[in-house]
Amino acid sequence: MEILKILEFLIFLIGVSYILIQCWQTITLIRYKSINTDYRRKESELPTVTILVACRNEEHNIENCLRSLIDLNYPKEKLKILVGNDQSEDNTLKIARQFESKYDFIQVIDIQEDSTGLKAKSRVMAQLDKHAVGDYYLVTDADVCVNSNWILGLLSNMNEEIGVASGTTMVKSNGIGGLFQEIDWAYFMGLLNVISYSGVPATAVGNNMIIRKDAYWQTGGYSKIRFSITEDYKLYKEVCDKGWKWNNIMNNDVLGYSEKTNGFIPLLHQRKRWLSGGKELPWYWWILFGIYGAYYFVSVALVLIFLLKFPVDNYLLLIPVIKWGLQSIQIFNIYRHLSQKPPNLLKLIIYEFYLTLITISTAIFFVLPVKTNWKDRKY
């Protein structure tokens, strides 16, 4: 029984810590407002921008991505789209070349091996940036489609002090897996915005970000930044270290839609890549990760204790109920800020089981001696 008391204390301590974090997240999301400096002005005053798109084996997605970029509400004479084909083994390059032949503002770069030691998307960016023009660089991926006001929305949140900003990406909710990945991405995007809005650097999302040209080249560009499989965070950190401010934006204009990750194991590889690259994150991130992960382990322990009919203080059973309630309020507010229809209560209940499964599985998978598989390459 002594062990049970110790376990109850741990459940209480971790549960209350998590709920306090949830209260902070909830209050911040309710109060959240975008900077939204008006950038909807005369075309002659709009800056020239370059969009950088990395792609590898994306024959099923690259066409939709490029069509969404072509349809952007932005003057084409002030737009350049650079597509970096990262040694694709399918028809990605062929499809991209077809668009290049039709639109003079699209340029396709076939990415080559070099001596920089860079890999994956970092190498793509390092070879694309030499062709970039304009005052701002925007970055997305070949499996993402953006809203028509994407450029204007990002520019509207870039005041003179901000060097890097990140929009909001959600997963297309096709199928059961897509639905819960959509909620999961929205919930994570909300956390990034909470941290950023609280005045603390968070990170950028590599498929939905904007960098001021001056800030980018002050870092030396990707060719001077040490390789990381989370290249978005590395660039974000380097820009912030140079004294620039940051921003994470949550509104409908800056919304991007990513294709879902197919399969449970690929989903674990995706999250292991994020955590592996996040080893350089500041200490407060890892406190959050620690409390976040520990909560799901102790919540499962609490359920087992209850099912096995061991005596347990009833107030402990309130912890998961309060946590779920606060989490649901957050998700409703995130969808409200994005002008999207929120999931119903049944889906939010099922999402809690999904979140428990994916969190515990990710924690276990992260410590296993298995290399991260990303775009058919291992790291």
Instruction: Say which DSSP state 311 is in.
Output: -
Q: Which fold has domain 43-268?
A: Spore Coat Polysaccharide Biosynthesis Protein SpsA; Chain A (3.90.550)
Q: Is residue 298 within a helix (H) or strand (E), and if so which, with residue range?
A: helix 283-307
Give the per-residue pLDDT at 131: 96
Half-sphere exposure in the Cβ direction for 101 (13 Å, CA):
6
pLDDT computed for residue 267 by the predictor: 93
Q: What is the pTM of this model?
A: 0.91
How far apart are alpha carbons 63 and 51 in whole angstroms?
A: 15
pLDDT in tens, the chain (379 residues): 577 777 788 888 999 999 999 999 999 999 887 665 555 566 778 999 999 999 999 999 999 999 999 999 999 999 999 999 999 999 999 999 999 999 999 999 999 887 677 788 989 999 999 999 999 999 999 999 999 999 999 998 898 999 999 999 999 877 777 889 999 999 999 988 998 888 888 888 999 999 999 999 999 999 888 777 788 888 999 999 999 999 999 999 999 999 999 899 999 999 998 888 777 778 888 888 899 999 999 888 888 887 777 776 777 888 999 999 999 999 999 999 999 999 999 999 999 999 999 999 999 999 999 888 878 788 8
Sign of CA dihedral 158, 32, 331, 252: negative
d(C-alpha 100, C-alpha 210), whole Å: 23
- Single-letter residue type at 40: R
Collapsing DSSP to helix, strand or coil, 163 comes out as strand
Please list the residues that pair with 106 across neighbouring strands: 81
Please state the domain extents for the chain: 2-32+280-367, 43-268
Residue 150 C-beta-side C-alpha neighbours within 13 Å: 30
Burial profile 218-256: b = 16 or more Cβ within 10 angstroms, e = fewer: bbebbbebebbbbbbbbbbbbbbeeebbbbbbbbebbbb
